[in-house]
Amino acid sequence: MTTQPKPLVSLDSPVFVVPDEALVPVNDFPSRQVDIPQSKMFVIKKSLDGYRAKFGKDAPTFDASQGDGGASLPGVPHELLDRANAMLKAHGTGYDFGYGTDAFRKATAEQYWKFAPETGYGPTNIIATDGGRDGLVKAYQAMVTLGTGRIGDVLLTSRVPWVSYNWGPYGVGQNVLLAPGHEETAWQYTEESLAACVEFCERHGARRIAGVIITSPDNPTGNCLPLQRQIELAHRALELGIPFVLFDWMYHWITSGAPSDINVVLKAFSPEERSRLIFLDGLTKSLGASNIRGAHLVASEKVVKFITNRSSHGVLPSFYSQAVAMAAYEMGFGKAAASIIGPTNTSREIARKFFKDKGYNAIIGEGGYYAFVNCIEPITRGGMADSDEFVRYMGENYGVAVIPGIHFSEAGKNWIRFSYALPPEKTQKALARFDEAFHSL
């Protein structure tokens, strides 16, 4: 006769799910966090309301604040949406895995990235996410748990980072550190600045850097780093003991050249070093698919397993977003994204010539959506505090919406981000109105 073992804890007593030694320590840091502000991306267009109130609801306005090719350009071709819908109907509407589907992983590895055999990378190194922000938050959690293993350590960004780099990590218990950098070099990292950040953290409460983000083309500055330079910076970060380097390549297809070749990067590192690299890519920018929420991470199998396990209790990627990606891979991604890439590349050259001919101090790289423009002259002439005041003035009086650099960091206080993810004729008109506003004060 078999007897059942007695429960370790009486059923009349409460019991924790994990052993005592694995309990989350009581910490009051959530009560001391600063309030995380809403991204101004979602409210900046309201600056145009004042212009319409003054000049009529049909007065022409120009939204150069966009980071969304699905709003300012045609977005995802309908034939891809139809193909994705057919895939969804064939696939069904049941749950998938925390990493997405096997078909998506295989297609992304073999058709999109075309992993070289010598890298050892394949479908099991792919994990689908519910858009780029979801991918980033999951990567931050992996960096902390698998990297330093401590809440309160640091994510390192450039001096003028995309605003959600400031707040996404902070929301999951990482402190964000802005690296040294100067406007004449578009606030780029250097080997020396990376080392200075490691030393700074050691002096500041014995903190460690859990990860560093390298993004190219950059948001907001528009700066682009050659692939070899990205590799050099990543090598230095790993040498300094930083556990993870995350390459954010969400804009890398929006270029007059070729997109980034992941095989070049992977081959530049040893197998052990590769395990400390994470790549983010997706449909948001290149396909104008912001609201489809399709993105993915490329990482070591250990990182992928960690994220997959947690995703199964949290945010699962939708099949439809994966189907849109697979439909684009079938067509050939460059062809599928041509309606975004082509107009943006043309607009970039229009903007580059405009800023050069007019003598503006502007950063504009070879890819991405953005020019970063110094506006200290009108800010000073108008007695304004920073670019936020100038942007509100411009929106209300000239009908042009851009993003103030002060929203990204103090170092960008005299700059604005001008998005040329627009049809070329709109870019030309928006630039002309911007120029009027710039010289009006």
Half-sphere exposure of 371 (CA within 13 A, CB side): 28
Amino acid at 361: N
Strand segments, DSSP code E, in 368-422 are: 370-374, 400-401, 403-404, 415-419
Q: Which DSSP category does 241 fall into? A: T
* Tens of pLDDT, residues 387-439: 999 999 999 999 999 999 999 999 999 999 999 999 999 999 999 999 999 99
Quick one: tokens of 65?
A: 């604040």
pLDDT of amino acid 67: 86
Alpha-carbon torsion angle 369, 217, 118, 333, nearest 10 = 0
What whole-number distance in Å separates Cα of residue 188 and Cα of residue 177? 14
The pLDDT of residue 441 is 87
Amino acid at 121: Y
The confidence score (pLDDT) of residue 403 equals 95
For residue 36, which phi and psi values (nearest 5 degrees)? Answer: -85, 120
Q: What is the pLDDT of residues 312-366, one digit of tens each?
A: 999 999 999 999 999 999 999 999 999 999 999 999 999 999 999 999 999 999 9
Residues 321 and 293 sit within 8 Å (Cβ to Cβ): yes
Q: Using CA atoms, how far apart are residues 162 and 172, in angstroms rounded to an integer? A: 17
Domains and CATH numbers, the chain: 43-66+337-440 (3.90.1150.10), 92-335 (3.40.640.10)
Nearest to 288 by CA among 253, 243, 314, 331: 253
Q: What is the pLDDT of residue 42?
A: 57
Torsion, Cα of 133, 48, 288, 306 (10° steps): 0
**Whole-number Å distance between alpha carbons of 39 and 164:** 7
Q: What SS3 class is residue 109?
A: helix
Q: What is the pLDDT of residue 59?
A: 94
Contact 256, 367 (CB under 8 A): yes
Report the Cα 130 to chain-centroid distance in Å.
13
Whole-angstrom distance, CA of residue 227 vs CA of residue 8: 56
Give me the pLDDT at residue 43, please. Answer: 64
Q: What is the pLDDT of residue 404?
A: 96
- 3-state percent breakdown (helix, strand, coil) of the chain, nearest 5: 50, 15, 40
Reading the chain (441 residues) residue by residue, the pLDDT tens digits are 556 665 567 889 999 999 999 998 998 988 999 998 887 665 666 778 889 999 998 999 999 998 889 999 999 999 999 999 999 999 999 999 999 999 999 999 999 999 999 999 999 999 999 999 999 999 999 999 999 999 999 999 999 999 999 999 999 999 999 999 999 999 999 999 999 999 999 999 899 999 999 999 999 999 999 999 999 999 999 999 999 999 999 999 999 999 999 999 999 999 999 999 999 999 999 999 999 999 999 999 999 999 999 999 999 999 999 999 999 999 999 999 999 999 999 999 999 999 999 999 999 999 999 999 999 999 999 999 999 999 999 999 999 999 999 999 999 999 999 999 999 999 999 999 999 999 998
The pLDDT value given to residue 6: 56
> Is residue 161 reached through a cis peptide bond, with omega within 30 degrees of 0 on the bond before it?
no
Q: How many CB atoms lie within 10 A of CB 329?
A: 16
399 close to 48: Cβ distance less than 8 angstroms: yes
CB 208 within 8 A of CB 148: yes
Q: What pLDDT score was predicted for residue 66?
A: 83
271 upstream amide cis, omega within 30 of 0: no
The pTM score is: 0.96
Taking Cα atoms as reference points, which of 146, 117, 111, 414 lies closest to residue 267?
117
- Let me know if 373 is exposed, middle or buried by CB neighbors in 10 A (0-12, 13-18, 19+): buried
**What single-letter amino acid sits at 59?**
A
CA dist 321 → 56, 274, 326 (Å): 39, 27, 9
Q: Whole-angstrom Cα distance, residue 404 to residue 422? A: 19
Both tokens of residue 187? 């606030």
